[in-house]
Structure 1
Amino acid sequence: MGGAAFLLVVAAIIVVFVFRSKRRESPYSDRLQRYISNRGGVKYYVDPSTYEDPSEAVKEFAREIDPAHLKIEEVIGAAQFGEVSRGRYRPLGRRELLVAVKTLRWGVTDREKGVFLSEAGVLGQFDHPNVLKLEGVATHSPPERIITEFMENGPLDAFLRENEDQFSVLQLVGMVRGVGAGMRYLSEKNFVHRDLAARNVLVNSNLVCKVSDFGLSRLMRGLDHNMPTYTASLGSKIPVRWTAPEAFQHRKFSSASDVWSFGILMWEVMSYGERPYWDMSNQEVMKAVADQYRLPAPHNCPPALHSLMLQCWQAERGDRPAFDSLLSSLDRLIRHPASLKAEHPRSTSQTLLSPTPTDLSSVATVSEWLSALRMDRYKEEFERAHLDTLDRVSLITMEDVQGLGVNLLGHQRKIVSAAQQLRTHLTQGQVEV
């Protein structure tokens, strides 16, 4: 009995030694065993950057595919380090699959090759119906390739813009719910995405949405704290319009900052792919968010859904709901479609709903209102349509705006949302006419 126990101890020491020898020393080294061990049935994500050679992570988490079983059909786009093609993959003993193939371009540096392969090292650790599935890699001979499932409808933002007003509110909420399910799975694996946005969600032929594009993703540090975070390097780019204030101010990323981004994604879905904060600059967005301004409800967005967005946009990250809570709320809305009526509440908060840092209490004319929205260019159109009083402007509809010829991306809905906000202030007596 004692001999058997001694052999088990020796075997454990050897396993740990081999495991550590495969990775360079890093801030994660003393916790890696916790990340890959099962605790509560969850296998934690391992950051490929903790490997001395990124290809080791690919070998560990991705299946090598024989290029002879892969047929490239058509180039469909460009990626950071090469091109993306549609193809067909016929694995031995399985039916043929339609796949997307990322091919590494010739002449890249070793560092670029490592970054390219690290995506496979990330994706290969995930298995969820709302996270893009990795089929495998082809790395034994150049050019190196990453093969994933093919998503027929492409990125969610472009898909929504191409199909504006073609879906019911319930269908849109179903898309949001799918993304939320994928993010709950990722957060449970102590994984932070950092770049959650509609452009980084793919849609298949059944309208199933799957989280993808893990280029900015990182492991969250500090798992023994209440709010684990990842600190971005100073040289990294941040997608400001989708980013929580603590992330663009202090570069502190966490599951809570992903929740903020999820709120922006909800807004994108309900506005059919509009650009968050419209034509505001990144600096204007950061200042507005820091000043507690939040995006207004998109046109015909149910108040219950906008309320969820506002919860995601709480200034204090600890006040934001977790993904499991958000998913429960979305499920309740789906089970009770009557709660998805697009009626707007009578009382709203200027601080929370203003699309731009505008003080409507100082607005007395239509001209001033347009100036506050930075839409002075449309003054003549409003005059020709006899929209010359704030009362008339506050009642403007989408059809009215379309009649004005305001066709620039995002401005139609922005004007209608601002008119709804103006109507609220007029009915509350906060604007003198």
Structure 2
Amino acid sequence: MPDLFDKLDDGVEEGPMRPLADRLRPKSLSDVIGQDQILGPDAPLSSMLANNALSSLIFWGPPGVGKTTIARLLADETDLHFVQISAIFSGVPELKAVFQAAKMRRQGGRGTLLFVDEIHRFNNAQQDGFLPHMEDGTILLVGATTENPSFELNAALLSRAQVLVLERLNESALDHLISRAEAELGKALPVADAGRRALVEMADGDGRALLNLVEQVAAWPPDVTYDKAALSERLMRRASAYDKSGDAHYNLISALHKSVRGSDPDASLYWLARMLSAGEDPRYIARRVTRMAVEDIGLADPQASRLCLDAWQVYERLGSPEGELALAQAVIYLALAPKSNASYGAYKGAMKSAGKNGSLAPPKHILNAPTRLMKDQGYGKGYSYDHDAEDAFSGQNYFPEEMERENYYQPVERGFERDLSKRLDYFAKLRQERKG
């Protein structure tokens, strides 16, 4: 019985009209560039193949770095039948047909490597559907995802597959790819050295995007040498990989936050610009920048959070692009401000104690006594009104009586917290004196 999926994704027919990216598709794993971390001599995939122990895999990486190609070549290396589906276009009926065909193929003595592109698009129930067929050897699953598998794939599937990370192609790999393309085309591209570098920059780590650009440039008149400016006018730069709810979104805001925390205004501005140019909502950035002020600067510079709120308000009044300058100013200010997470640490410490001792009552001397019954119970008895005490400080205990005094807030010797530290020491001294 013919296999419905035998010819699935066989590619276009051979011939000069095939896209350059398809013509340059590697014929063996040794031809794959830029992924030595998984294909090098002692790398995971090479070790699996050398020991004839290929397991189910999840390829995690950006677009255009070879996920599909490597899956095809793995099938060739292991003499498995290659089947490709996309989670975007496939549902339960398609999966059932794939599994049924794989079972029949297995009965005939041949295994199936099932490549699932965008596997994170399948819901939990659909992901669970792969498990019995992986366990009984009906399929060897190779999934591809641009999103973090830890968040997008369920634990059962991850426990049965090894995650391999594919990296965006660096400049050296992309330049090598251009040389391969020129050899395939039989001619050099009509670009100057600066233009060649511009092509690499425009591709932004995506090999498939680079080959599409090369194919366009190769069709231009060869009697003109195009520089960077000419390429920028004629070609469109590949859109930056960015998904407002995906992995790149969280990676860039993490980079911005840590650059601010590390007191590097230039790196902070770079990551801010990356987010804004990729289309991030400036209001999201404003909220996160304000969080940075309270988490990483705190009382070392009390006006930092106020400045962030003002920048947020300025953006709301002006909109883009003028309002984004206010956000940039806030980012610069935060990066250069003295840093302290003492308030943040104190808050977490207090929350931990509250969870541990949450049922302890306040000491009766700091409770109000609006009724006679409450007075009879000792509410408010012995309370010292601090304004009447010397230095407006009574030194009495405000923690529950069953609880030892805690010291959550420990200011740093930077910025305004240096003054707060002196006040804490002063009150600690008075407390000891009043206690004596």
TM-score bucket of the superposed structures, by smaller chain: under 0.3
**Greater fraction helix:** 2
Taking structure 2 as the reference length, what is the TM-score of the superposition? Answer: 0.24
TM-score by length of 1: 0.24
Bigger-Rg structure (1/2) = 2
- Structure with a larger share of its residues in strand: 1
